[in-house]
Amino acid sequence: MSASVAAETAGRATPALWRRLPNSPVAMVGLAIVLFWVVLAIAAPLLPLASPNALDYMAMRQPFSSAKHWLGVDPLGRDLLSRIVWGGRTVLEVAPIAVLVAYTVGCTMGLLAGYYRGWVDAAISRASDVILSFPVVVLYVILIANIGPSAVNIVVAVVVASAPGIARIVRGLVLSLTHQEFVAAAYLRRESDVFVMLVELLPNCRGPLITDFCLRLGYTTITIGTLGFLGLGLPPPNPDWGGMVKQATSMITVFPHMALYPTFALVSLILGFNLLADGITELSQAD
C-alpha cells in the first residue's frame, strides 16, 4: 500500500508556478523586460549618471545624443537617460505599492461581499458598480484635481479605481468556494469567520489573482504615465515618464527624441507586465 501511495504521489505532483515559469517563452520575455527596469531602478544611485534634475544649458544648443548625454537632453537641458532611469524608479515604486494597497482593499471588499452576502454584498457591489461606471481617466482627473498631485494621491486614485474590479473577481470566486465541503469542515472545527475567509478561501483565489496582479501593474503604469502627461502626476521637478512626454510635445516636430525615449520606456514596461500575465495564464491553463 505505502509503496503504491508513494509512486502515485510522485507521479502526479505539479511543481509550483514560479518553477514552471521557464516553460513559457512568453512569460520569460515579459519577466526579462520587467527585470531589466527593476535592475536599472535599483541601481540608479550607483550608476555614473548625471543628476536627473541638473540643468545643462550648454547642451540645449545641441540636445541630441552625445558622449556626455547618451540619449540627449530634455527642453530644460536635463539628461534624458538619467531622467528615464530615475523615472523608472518612480514608476516601479508607485505602481507596485498602489496595486498592493488596491489588492488589500479589493480582496477585503470581495471576501466580505462573497462571504456574508445579503446587505453587505448589496452595499459593496452597488458602491463598486458606481465607481466602475465612470470612465477610468475621468475618475482619475476628478480625484487628482481635487486632492492634488502627489505620489500618495496617485496611490489613492489607483486604489479607488482598481479595488472594485478586484473585489468583483474575489467575490465571484468566494461565492462558489463557500459551497465547497472544506469550508463546512472548517466550521466543524469552530473556526472564526476571519479565519475561514483568510486561510480557507483567499488562498484558493490566487490563480486568477496572480494573472490579474500582473495585468494591473501594467494598467497602473499606464495610469501613472497618463496622469503625468495630463500634468496630474508627480509635481516637478521629479522625473516622471508621462510628464517628460508632456514637456516634449511642444517641440515634438523639432526634437522628437525627447518624447520618443520616455514613450519607449513606458511601452516596454507595460508590454513586460502584459507578456508576464499572458505567460502565467498559459501555464495555469496547461494544468
Partner 1 sequence: MALLSIRDLRVEYTTARGTVAAIPEFSLEIGAGESFGLVGESGCGKSTLIMAIMGYMGRNGRVARGEILFEGRDLVRAGAEELRKVRGGRIAIVYQEPSTALNPSMTVGRQLMEVPIAHSGASNADARAQAARVLADVHLPDPDSVMRRYPHQLSGGQKQRVVIAMALLANPALLLLDEPTTGLDVTVEAAVLDLLNELRQKYGTALFYISHNLGVIAQVCDRIGVMYAGKLVEDAPAADLFAQPRHPYTRGLLGSLPRPGADKRTHPLVAIPGVVPSAGRAPDSCGFLTRCALARPGLCDAAPVPLLATTPTHLVRCARWQDLPDSIAAADPAAASVAVPDSEIVMQARDVSRVFAVGKRRLIANDRLTLAAKRGHVLAIVGESGSGKSTFAKVLAGLDAATSGTLTVLGDDVATQPVRKRSATKVAAVQMVFQNPDGTLNPSHSVGYPLTRALKKFGIAHDRKTLDARVAALLDMVRLPPSLRHALPRQLSGGQKQRIAIARAFAGNPELLVADEPVSALDVSVQAAVINLLLRIQAEQQTTLVFISHDLGLVRYLADEVVVMYLGQVMESGPVASLFDPPYHPYTEALLSAVPVPDPTIRTTRIRLEGEIPSPLNVPPGCRFATRCPRKLGAVCETMPPPARDADNDHVIHCHIPLERLRQTEPVFRHAS
1 contributes a contact to partner 1 by CB under 8 A: yes
Segment near partner 1 (CB under 8 A); pick from 3-11, 53-61, 103-111, 254-262: 3-11
Rg (C-alpha) for the chain, rounded Å, is 23
The answer to whether 68 and 82 have CB atoms below 8 angstroms apart is no
The answer to whether 56 and 73 have CB atoms below 8 angstroms apart is yes
Gap between the Cα atoms of 230 and 59, Å rounded: 27
The answer to whether 162 and 216 have CB atoms below 8 angstroms apart is yes
Segment near partner 1 (CB under 8 A); pick from 2-10, 33-41, 45-53, 274-282: 2-10
Residue 31 grid cell: 519577466
285 contributes a contact to partner 1 by CB under 8 A: no
Size of the site for partner 1 (CB under 8 A): 26
Residue 27 grid cell: 512569460
| Residue 73 backbone dihedrals phi, psi, to 5 degrees | -125, 165
Q: For residue 213, with 0-12 CB atoms within 10 Å meaning exposed, 13-18 middle and 19 or more buried, which class applies? A: buried
19 contributes a contact to partner 1 by CB under 8 A: no
180 contributes a contact to partner 1 by CB under 8 A: yes
Nearer Cβ to partner 1, position 17 or 50? 17
Instruction: Quote the DSSP letter at residue 17.
Output: H
H or E stretch including 251? Answer: none
Q: How far is the CB of 5 from partner 1 (least distance, A)?
A: 6
282 contributes a contact to partner 1 by CB under 8 A: no
185 contributes a contact to partner 1 by CB under 8 A: yes
Nearer Cβ to partner 1, position 137 or 199? 199
With CB under 8 A as the contact rule, the residue among 15, 46, 181, 285 that binds partner 1 is 181
The answer to whether 269 and 20 have CB atoms below 8 angstroms apart is no
With CB under 8 A as the contact rule, the residue among 15, 45, 118, 203 that binds partner 1 is 203
Q: How far is the CB of 181 from partner 1 (least distance, A)?
A: 4
Residues lying near partner 1 in the complex (CB under 8 A) = 1-2, 4-6, 8-9, 11-14, 180-182, 184-185, 187-191, 199-200, 203-204, 206
